[in-house]
A and B are shown apart, each in its own frame.
Chain A
Amino acid sequence: MKKNNKKTLIIAAVVLVALLAAFACVYMVFGPKAHKGSKEIVIEVTGSNGETTDYELATDAEYLIEAMDELAANGSGFTYSGSDGDYGMMIEIVNGERALYAEDNAYWALYVNGEYGQYGADSQPVADGDTYSWTYEFAQ
Chain B
Amino acid sequence: MIGIMVAVIEVSKFILSGMPNIELTSFWLIMFTLTFGWKVALLVPVLILLEGTLYGMHIWWIMYLYAWPLLVLIAWIFRRNTSPVLWAIISGTFGLCFGALCSIPYFFIGLSSGGLSAGFRSMVTWWIAGIPWDLIHCAGNFVLMLVLYHPISKVMRRVRNLPPEN
B92 within 8 A of A: yes
Instruction: Verify if A32 is at the interface (C-beta below 8 Å from B).
Output: yes
Contact with A along B118-152 (1 / 0, CB 8 A): 00001011101111111100100000000000000
24 contacts between A and B (CB under 8 A): A1-B83, A5-B83, A9-B89, A13-B85, A13-B89, A15-B89, A15-B93, A19-B97, A20-B135, A23-B96, A24-B131, A24-B135, A27-B128, A27-B131, A30-B124, A30-B128, A32-B128, A86-B133, A87-B129, A87-B130, A87-B133, A88-B133, A119-B125, A120-B129
Complex Cα–Cα for A73 and B122 (A): 33
Interface residues on B, range: 20 to 34
A28 nearest CB neighbor, chain B only:
B131
Q: Are B129 and A20 in contact (CB under 8 A)?
A: no
Q: Classify the secondary structure of B's interface with A.
A: helix
Tally of A-B residue pairs with Cβ under 8 A?
A: 70
Question: What residue in chain A is nearest B54 (Cβ atoms)?
Answer: A102
A5-B86, A32-B128 are known; give 9 further A-B pairs, CB within 8 A.
A1-B83, A16-B89, A19-B96, A20-B135, A31-B128, A87-B99, A87-B130, A87-B133, A118-B129
B21 on interface, CB distance cutoff 8 Å = yes
Report, nearest first, the 4 A-B pairs whose CB atoms are least far apart: A27-B131, A12-B89, A118-B125, A9-B86
Q: Chain B nearest CB: distance from A21 CB in Å?
A: 11
